[in-house]
């Protein structure tokens, strides 16, 4: 009955792949910021939350078309990323990295309660009902498919930027050696700000896609914040390909155990898998050997 | 011996307080401050050596939920349930701590790995909602009208005040003992340079595991008593990333490197919340965390030694006229000026 070609299992696997695309996108911005600046933005999911609010107010309040609203939100969260870097991270660059992590933890509290104070704790959504596709007896959420596609486009764009552009080369160089590159004439402050902007923009992109699937509320960051950190750690912090692999592993575990049990148990299994794997590869799946 | 007089007087005043003062609301606030102080102090025992754990929300959740579940389903008295919960927290601490320490995972990497523990505990509590009530919270059953030594349930705020004071005293005593043990020197050496410490014969993994297990069991203990006092727990108030960050916040604001720092941090946070709640009522929802978040960022940037830490360091720098016990420096690795 539970053969390999069982249609429900296949559906779960396909949905897992789609979910994996979203997870990979979530992990991408965090990994980029970590890899280049050596900082963990604990408040990353809260930036996404603000982006989702931006989408909500632009789309329902000012009736801006979806694509334009998405562009404005992405830009807005990118600016937030820069503000976060200049206001919080920059004064702490000389101190142990854990201080920067804790300071962004303070920002997490701040953003959550700022959203509570400003927007209240109501659940809001865009009111867009995307159809559910039926492909070969499988039901696939259109919103997830869209998110998967956009995530892939975002990742390819980031890859091309890092691999082909001059600034991208400088970012990769800084990530490899923070001490030497400033001596070679790279302005590390500028690179950090650009990286923070890209990290924020990726959070904004994730926000535009997640707002189609989740209701916005001030604590929505807690629903996908922890899993994003676990994906990054499992893949090896700062390792984008590792994060990619880990995102799909996690998504498949969640999706397939969600089929047989409950979606929440899917998360429990994914976390359990994480702990077990940490015993064997605590530096992450694709750790750089130094 | 003169140094002891003010301490004994302060202890006597604290113990004698409920026999002359009976106003339930201030006593309630004091009990909360004492219980949370115990939790924050337990956290700071690790954090002080650069082992910043975000998993203590998990340990506290284990302490509270294991005790309450054992009581409700198996009618195991908290006198047995709390030690079992502490044991469970110790096991969790070893599970998450051993791979981290064995493979030299430190700093922010360690913080994120321990964050996983908080997330797992929160997720398990929510997923097993048939037993734990999920995010709606959970209440231990009342026994004998809520007043029973067997069930560790007391009605009077005065009794709870003395219980909480006792716990707080024990926690401070443990911290005091650790400060004067070889463990402290070993951990300070490890915090400075792991390889050098290992080369001089410090067993890095074992020493770190010792303090982690100690800190985790104490957090679980205080978490279980928090549950016994409040008679209500929910996943968001005793576990998860929010509670973990709250511990960091209070310890950092009060002062990580001084024994009473986390207590000062607990007093500040709870008084702030209560003041906002009383003055603005429901309009104040969210404002307390808004202030906490801002303060946490400002303190880490400008005052990493915390309030009490900075005050004590300022006093210690004065000439001997300011009669303060000298010769002790609390400045740690992340502390302020060390000249």
Q: Per the CB < 8 Å rule, is A271 touching B126?
A: no
Rounded distance between C-alpha atoms, residue B202 and residue B211, angstroms: 14
| Angle, vertex CA B95, rays to CA B194 and CA B52, nearest 5 | 45
SS (H, E, C) chain B: CCCHHHHHHHHHHHHHHHHHCCCHHHHHHHHHHHHHHHHHHHHHHHHCCCCCCCCHHHHHHHHHHHHHHHHHHHCCCHHHHHHHHHHHHHHHHHHHHHHHHHCCCCHHHHHHHHHHHHHHHHHHHHHCHHHHCHHHCECCCCCHHHCECCCCECCCHHHHHHHHHHHHHHHHHHHHHHHCCHHHHHHHHHHHCHHHHHHCCCCHHHHHHHHHHHHHHHHHHHHHHHHHHHCCECHHHHCCHHHHHHHHHHHHHHCCCCCCHHHHHHHHHHHHHHHHHHHHHHHHCCHHHHHHHHHHHHHHHHCCCCHHHHHHHHHHHCCCCCCCCCCCCCCCCCCCCCC
How far apart are the C-alpha atoms of A31 and A186, rounded to whole Å?
21
The answer to whether the CB of B306 falls within 8 A of the CB of A115 is no
ipTM: 0.79
Mean pLDDT of A23-38: 86
User: How far apart, in whole angstroms, are the C-alpha atoms of residue B58 and residue B72?
Assistant: 21
- What integer pLDDT is reported at residue A106 of this predicted model? 87
Which chain B residues are Cβ-neighbours of A268 within 8 angstroms? 120, 123-124, 127
Q: Which of residues 232-261 of B touch A (CB under 8 A)?
A: 240-242, 245, 248-249, 252
Lowest mean pLDDT, pick from A73-82, A199-208, B276-285: B276-285
Mutate to test the interface with B, among A31, A234, A278, A284 (most CBs of B within 10 A): A278
- pLDDT at position A286, please? 67
**Residue A18 scores a pLDDT above 50:** yes
Mean pLDDT of chain A: 82
Cβ neighbours of B293 in A, within 8 Å: 106-113
Residues A129, A254: Cα–Cα separation, whole Å = 24
Give the distance from CA B241 to its chain's centroid: 15
- Chain B residues lying within 8 Å of A110, measured CB to CB: 289-290, 293-294, 297
pLDDT digit string, tens, across residues B246-284: 888 888 888 888 888 899 999 988 888 888 888 877 776
B144 compared with A276, residue with greater pLDDT? A276
Cβ neighbours of B242 in A, within 8 Å: 222
Residue B262's CB is within 10 A of a number of other CB atoms, namely 34
Res. B337: pLDDT tops 80: no
**Confidence bin at A287 (pLDDT 50/70/90):** low
Asked if pLDDT for residue B37 goes beyond 50, the answer is: yes
Distance CA A244, CA B133 (A): 35
In the prediction, which pLDDT does A47 show? Answer: 92
Chain segment A41-59, per-residue pLDDT in tens: 888 989 999 999 988 888 8
Q: Which 3 state secondary structure label does DSSP give A132?
A: strand
pLDDT value of residue A15: 81
pLDDT score for B41: 93
Which of the four pLDDT bands, split at 50, 70 and 90, describes residue A273? confident
Q: What is the pLDDT of residues B64-94, one digit of tens each?
A: 999 999 988 888 888 888 999 999 999 999 9
Q: How many CB pairs under 8 A join A and B?
A: 149
DSSP of A47-91, one letter per residue?
Answer: HHHHHHHHHHIIIIIS---HHHHHHHHHHHHHHHHHHHIIIIIGG
Please report the pLDDT score of residue B318 as a whole number.
Answer: 64
Report the residue of B57, B91, B115 to disrupt the A interface, i.e. the one with the largest count of A CBs within 10 Å: B115
Q: What is the mean pLDDT of residues A239-245?
A: 82
The residue-averaged pLDDT of A262-289 equals 74
> What is the distance between the alpha carbons of residues A233 and B108, in angstroms, rounded to a whole number?
11
Average pLDDT over residues B145-157: 76
Contact call for residues B111 and B46 (beta carbons, < 8 A):
no
Q: What is the band of A8 on the pLDDT scale with cuts at 50, 70, 90? A: confident
- Interchain pair A101, B124: CB under 8 A: no
CB-based contact, B100 to chain A, within 8 Å: yes
pLDDT at B335 over 60: no
Quick one: pLDDT at residue B219? 93
Contact list in B for residue A262 (CB cut-off 8 A) is 127
Check: CB of residue A252 under 8 Å from CB of residue A13: yes
In tens, the pLDDT along A174-195 reads 877 777 877 887 788 888 899 8
Distance from CA of A162 to the nearest CA of B (A): 25
pLDDT tens-digit readout, A120-151: 777 887 777 777 777 766 677 777 888 888 88
Checking if the pLDDT of A17 tops 60, the result is yes
pLDDT at B236: 82
pLDDT digits (tens, 9 = 90+) for B282-318: 776 778 778 888 888 888 888 878 888 888 888 877 6
Please answer whether residues A201 and A47 qualify as being in contact, where contact means their C-beta atoms are separated by less than 8 angstroms: no
Q: Which residues pair with A139 in a beta bridge?
A: A134
Span B219-246, mean pLDDT? 87
At A5, the pLDDT band (50, 70, 90 cuts) reads: low
**pLDDT at residue B334 tops 50:** no
Q: With bands split at pLDDT 50, 70 and 90, how would you rate the model's confidence at A3?
A: low
């Amino acid at each position: 009955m539970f053969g390999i070609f069982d249609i429900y299992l296949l559906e779960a696997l396909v949905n897992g792949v789609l979910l994996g695309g979203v997870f990979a996108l979530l992990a991408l911005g965090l990994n980029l910021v970590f890899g280049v600046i050596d900082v963990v933005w604990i408040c990353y999911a809260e930036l996404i939350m603000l982006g989702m609010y931006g989408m909500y107010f632009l789309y329902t309040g000012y009736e801006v078309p979806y694509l334009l609203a998405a562009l404005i939100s992405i830009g807005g969260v990118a600016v937030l990323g820069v503000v976060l870097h200049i206001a919080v991270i920059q004064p702490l660059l000389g101190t142990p990295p854990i201080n920067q992590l804790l300071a962004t933890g303070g920002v997490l509290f701040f953003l959550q309660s700022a959203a509570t104070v400003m927007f209240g704790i109501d659940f809001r959504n865009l009111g867009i009902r995307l159809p559910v596709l039926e492909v070969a007896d499988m039901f696939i959420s259109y919103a997830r498919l869209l998110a998967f596609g956009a995530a892939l486009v975002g990742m390819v764009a980031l890859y091309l930027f890092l691999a082909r552009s001059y600034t991208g080369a400088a970012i990769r160089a800084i990530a490899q050696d923070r001490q030497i590159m400033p001596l070679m004439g790279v302005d590390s402050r500028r690179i950090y700000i650009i990286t923070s902007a890209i990290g924020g923009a990726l959070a904004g992109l994730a926000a535009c896609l997640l707002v189609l699937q989740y209701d916005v509320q001030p604590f929505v960051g807690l629903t996908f914040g922890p899993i994003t950190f676990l994906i990054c750690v499992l893949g090896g912090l700062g390792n984008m390909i590792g994060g990619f692999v880990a995102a799909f592993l996690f998504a498949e575990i969640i999706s397939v155990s969600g089929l047989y049990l409950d979606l929440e148990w899917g998360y429990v299994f994914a976390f359990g898998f994480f702990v077990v794997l940490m015993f064997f590869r605590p530096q992450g799946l694709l750790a750089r050997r130094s | 011996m003169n140094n002891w007089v003010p301490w004994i007087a302060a202890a006597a005043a604290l113990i004698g307080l409920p026999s002359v003062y009976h106003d339930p609301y201030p006593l309630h606030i004091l009990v909360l401050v004492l219980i949370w102080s115990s939790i924050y102090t337990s956290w700071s025992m690790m954090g002080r050596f650069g082992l910043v754990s975000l998993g203590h929300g998990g340990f506290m959740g284990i302490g509270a939920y294991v005790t309450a579940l054992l009581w409700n389903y198996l009618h195991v008295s908290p006198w047995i349930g709390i030690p079992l919960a502490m044991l469970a927290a110790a096991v969790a601490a070893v599970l998450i701590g051993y791979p981290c320490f064995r493979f030299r995972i430190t700093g922010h990497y360690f913080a994120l790995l321990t964050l996983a523990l908080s997330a797992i505990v929160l997720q398990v509590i929510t997923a097993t909602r048939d037993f734990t009530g999920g995010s709606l919270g959970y209440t231990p059953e009342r026994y004998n009208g809520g007043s029973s030594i067997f069930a560790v349930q007391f009605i009077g705020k005065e009794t709870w005040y003395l219980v909480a004071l006792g716990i707080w005293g024990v926690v401070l005593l443990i911290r005091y003992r650790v400060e004067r043990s070889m463990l402290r020197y070993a951990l300070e050496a490890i915090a400075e340079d792991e390889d050098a410490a290992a080369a001089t014969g410090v067993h890095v993994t074992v020493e770190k595991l010792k303090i982690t297990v100690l800190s985790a069991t104490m957090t679980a203990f205080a978490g279980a008593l928090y549950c016994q006092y409040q008679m209500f727990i929910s996943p968001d108030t005793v576990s998860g990333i929010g509670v973990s960050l709250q511990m960091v916040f209070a310890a950092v604001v009060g002062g990580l490197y001084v024994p009473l720092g986390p207590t000062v941090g607990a007093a500040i946070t709870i008084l702030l919340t209560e003041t906002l709640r009383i003055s603005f009522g429901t309009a104040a929802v969210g404002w307390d965390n808004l202030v906490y978040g801002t303060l946490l960022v400002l303190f880490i940037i400008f005052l990493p030694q915390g309030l009490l830490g900075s005050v004590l360091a300022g006093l210690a720098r004065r000439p001997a006229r300011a009669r303060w016990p000298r010769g002790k420096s609390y400045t740690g690795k992340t502390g302020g000026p060390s000249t």
